[in-house]
Amino acid sequence: MTTTPSAARTAGAAMPDGSPRTHYLNATYGLKSWLLTRDHKRIALLYLVSISVFFALGGLMAVLIRMELATPEGDLFQPDIYNRLFTMHGVLMIFFFLIPGIPAVLGNFLIPLMIGARDLAFPRINLLSWYLYSIGGLFTLWALLHGGVDTGWTFYTPLSTNYVNTSVITVGVGIFIAGFSSILTGLNFVVTIHRMRAPGLTWFRLPLFVWGAYATSLIQILGTPVIAIAILLVAAERTLHIGIFDPKLGGDPILFQHLFWFYSHPAVYIMILPSMGVVSELVATFSRKPIFGYKFVAFASIGIAVLGFFVWGHHMFVSGQSIYAGVIFSVLSMLVAVPSAIKVFNWTATLYKGSISWDTPMLYALGFIGLFTIGGLTGVMLATLGIDAHVHDTYFIIAHFHYIMVGGAIMGYLGGLHFWWPKITGRMYPLFWSKLSAIVIFIGFNVTFFPQFILGYLGMPRRYHSYPPEFQVLNVMSSAGATVLGLGYLMPLVYFIWSIRYGPKAPSNPWGATGLEWQTTSPPPVENFLTQPIVTAPPYTYPAPKRAPEVTRGV
Amino acid sequence: MPAHVQPVRVYFGVFAALMAFTALTVFASFVNLGHANTFVALGIAAAKATLVILYFMHVKGNTKLVPVVILSGLFFLLLLFLFLAADYGTRGWLGVPGR
C-alpha cells in the first residue's frame, strides 16, 4: 500500500499538535455514511452499540432473576415466566453479546491496525456480517415480544421439539442468522491475518491479541455450521416430525446434545480466547516487559481452540451418554487445563519483576487472571466424573461458567475497551472513576457468584424460581452482589459516553505501548496509516517510549 | 493468487461424470446389496462431492493452503463422527441396571 492522495491531503491538514484534522470519525457525516460504511473501524463501532444494547437487555433479565431469587418463595414471577427469563438471559448474553463481543468489536477495530493493513480483506462482507447479526437480533427480539422461549438457552430435545409452545423456531432462526455473521467475521479475520500483514510482520511478530483472534476465528468457521444444522433439525422435528431426535420415530434425543455441544463448548473458547489475547497485551504493556514465553502463549491459543473440539461430552456425563465415552471426555477435558495454565503462568511470570503500573486496563487484566483461574480450576473439578454427577445442573455449574464468561470474558472485554478507548475515540476517560469501576465490578462479581458455588455444592438446582428456605442467606448475598455488579457496569457506560464529548484529547500513544496501532494517530485516519508501516522487531520490545504525561498525571 | 483457468471441455467432462454417477445412484437404489447399500450410496456421493470440490470449486491447481483448509474441515467432521461412535458404540456395554 502506498500513500494515497487523500492520505497526503490528510497529512497536509495536520493540527498544531501533529494529529490530523480528519480521521475516520469525522471524514464523512450522516446516517448513510455509517450504515453503508465499509470501514472496519466504523463497523466495529456499529457492533459496539448493538452488542451493548443486547448486554443491557440480558442484564435486565439477570436483574429480574436475582430479584425473584431474593426470597425462597416464587412470589415475583410464575414458573413459566421465570423459565422464559433465564432462557432469554442466556440466549441474549451468549449469542448476541459474548460471542460477537470481543471479536466483532475489538477484533474488527484492531486487527487491521495491529497488522498494518488498510482494512480487513473483505470490507463488504464485514458490513454484511453486521447486518446479519442485526437481523438475527431483531428476530430474537421479535420472539421476545411474542412471549420469548422457555427451553433454556440449550434448546434440549425432547422439551424443545415435542413439549413447549413458545417461539422456539423464531429464536432458532435468529440464532441461525447470527451464526452466519459469526462465520463471516471469522473468515474475514483468517484471510486478513494470512494475507495482509505489513512487510516484516512475520507470524511470530504478531501481537498475541491477533493470535487469540485467529484461534477464535478457526472455531467460528469450523463449529458454527454444526449448531446451525442442529437448530434447523429442531425446527424440522417440531414442524415435520422427521424423527431425528424422537425415539418413537427411531431418533435419539441425546444426539441433539452431541450436536449442540459440539459447537457450544468450543463457543466458550470463542468468548474467552480473545479476552486472553487482550490480557496478554495489557500484562506486557503495564509491566513494561516483553511477554514471558511468547511462542507458548501463542500456541496455547491454537491448542485451546483445537482441544476445545475434543471435550464436548463433559456436558453430558449424566444425560445417558455411554459411561465409556464419558471417561474419554473427562480425560480430554482435563487436557484443556494445560494450555490455559501455560497462559496464566506466563502472564504471572511477565508480572514478575516488572515495572507495574495500576492503570484501569491493568486492574481489569489482573481481575481477569484471578477470576479465570478460579473458573478454570472449578472446570477441572467438573471434568471429574464423580464430582460432576453430584453437582450437575446445580448452582455450582452456574458459578463456574459465570467465572469464565463474566469474570473472564467480560473483564477482558472491559479491560480491552479501556485500553483502546483513547485510540477508538481519541478521548481519555476519567482515570479515578474507571479504576473505581474495575474495583466495584470485581467485588460485585465475587459477592454475586462465589455464594453460588456453595449453594450448588449444597444441592440447589439451577433453573427453579423457588428454593428451600435454608438457601436464602446465600441467595440474598448473591442478589446484593448483583446490585453492586450492575452499578459497576453502569459506571463505564456513563463515563465513556461523557468522555466522547468532554474527555480530554488523547495522544496517539497514551500508555507508551508498542504495537502498530499506537503508531498512528488517535483516532486513526480512514486509511489507518499514512505510510505503509514496516516491521523490523518482535512485539513487546519494552521498555518502550515514555508514557504520555497527561495519563501519568491523571485527569 | 494465480487464476487457474481450465478448458471448457473439462467442465463438461466433469458434468457428464456427475450425471453418470447420478444415473448410477438411481440404478443402485433398485439393487438390494444388503449392508453394502449405504456404503455404495455414500461412496458414490463422496466421489461426486470430490469432483465438484476439485474442479468446480477450483481446488485442483490452487495454492496448497486451500486443500489444507478443506481437509481441516473434514478432520473436524471426522472428529464429530468419531466421538459419536464412541458414545453409540459403547452405550449398551453396561446394560440397563435392574433389567
The string of pLDDT tens digits covering residues A125-172 is 999 999 999 999 999 999 999 988 999 999 999 999 999 988 999 999
- The domain tally of chain B equals 2
CA separation for the pair B53, B70 (Å, rounded): 9
Domain identity same for B52 and B72: no
CA angle A356, A536, A420 (to 5 degrees): 45
Please check whether residue B18 lies inside any domain of the structure.
yes
With CA atoms as reference, the chain A residue closest to B71 would be A222
Structure confidence at residue A4 (pLDDT): 41
pLDDT confidence band for B65 (50 / 70 / 90):
confident
Q: Where are the alpha helices (DSSP H) in A147-252?
A: 168-195, 208-240
Q: Is residue B75 part of a domain?
A: yes
If asked whether residues B51 and B77 sit together in one domain, one would say no
In this structure, the answer to whether residues B39 and B7 fall within a common structural domain is yes
CB–CB contact A310 B76 (8 Å): no
Q: Answer yes or no: is B99 within a domain.
A: no
A254 at B interface, C-beta within 8 A: yes
B82 and B42 housed in the same domain: no
When the pLDDT of each residue in chain A is averaged and rounded to a whole number, the result is 92
pLDDT at residue A15, rounded to an integer: 52
User: Among residues A232, A233, A230, A218, which one has the least CA distance to residue A183?
Assistant: A218
pLDDT computed for residue A369 by the predictor: 97
Q: Helical H runs in A384-410?
A: 385-391, 395-402
Are A412 and A456 in contact by the 8 Å Cβ rule? The answer is no
Is residue B79 in a domain?
yes
Residues B7 and B45 in one domain: yes
Q: For B12-23, write each residue's pLDDT tens digit.
A: 999 999 999 999
Cα distances (Å, whole numbers) of residue B51 to A511, B3, B15, B38 = 55, 19, 9, 20
Q: Does residue A306 belong to the interface with chain B, where contact is any CB pair within 8 Å?
A: no
pLDDT tier for residue B1 given thresholds of 50, 70 and 90: very low
ipTM higher than threshold 0.85: no
Q: How far apart are CA A529 and CA A518, in angstroms?
A: 11
Q: B72 touching A, CB under 8 A? A: yes
- Range of B1's domain? 1-58
Fold adopted by A42-553: Cytochrome C Oxidase; Chain A (1.20.210)
| B80 and B54 in a common domain | no
| Rounded-to-10 torsion of CA A464, A469, A473, A479 | 30
Give domain status of residue B95, yes or no.
Answer: no
- As to burial, measured by CB atoms within 10 angstroms (0-12 exposed, 13-18 middle, 19+ buried), residue B79 is middle
Give B95's contacts in chain A (Cβ within 8 Å): none
Long-range contacts of B89-98 (CB under 8 A, 24+ apart): B89/A322, B90/A322, B90/A323, B90/A324, B90/A325, B91/A320, B91/A321, B91/A322, B91/A325, B93/A322, B93/A324, B94/A323
Question: pTM of the predicted model, to two decimals?
Answer: 0.91
Burial of A47 (0-12, 13-18, 19+ CB in 10 A): buried
Domain boundaries of chain A, sorted by first residue: 42-553
Q: Which of B63, B75, B83, B90 to mutate to test the interface with A (most CBs of A within 10 A)?
A: B83
pLDDT of residue A59: 96
- Close Cβ partners of A241 (under 8 Å, ≥ 6 residues apart): A249
Is A157 in contact with A238 (CB distance < 8 Å)? no
- Separation between Cα atoms, residue A5 and residue A328, nearest integer Å: 60
Instruction: Write out the three cell numbers for A1.
Output: 500500500
pLDDT tens for each residue of A464-499? 999 999 999 999 999 999 999 999 999 999 999 999
Q: In this structure, what C-alpha cell is assigned to residue A453? A: 458455588
Q: What is the pLDDT of residue A548?
A: 63
Residue-wise pLDDT tens digits, A102-119: 899 999 999 999 999 999
Amino acid at A412: G
Q: Which residues in chain A are closer than 8 Å to B84, comparing Cβ atoms?
A: 255, 258
User: Amino acid identity, residue A533?
Assistant: P
Is B96 part of any domain? no
Contact B90, A322 (CB under 8 A): yes
Contact between chains at B86 and A222 (C-beta distance less than 8 A): no
- Cell numbers for A161, please give them: 421439539
Cross-chain residue pair A321–B87, CB shorter than 8 Å? yes
Interface contacts A/B by beta carbons within 8 Å: 43
Under the banding of pLDDT at 50, 70 and 90, the label for residue B60 is confident
Per-10-residue mean pLDDT for chain A, 555 residues long?
A: 40 50 90 94 96 96 96 92 95 96 94 96 97 96 92 93 91 96 96 95 96 96 94 94 92 95 95 96 95 96 95 94 94 95 97 94 97 96 95 96 96 97 95 96 97 96 95 97 96 96 93 93 93 92 68 49
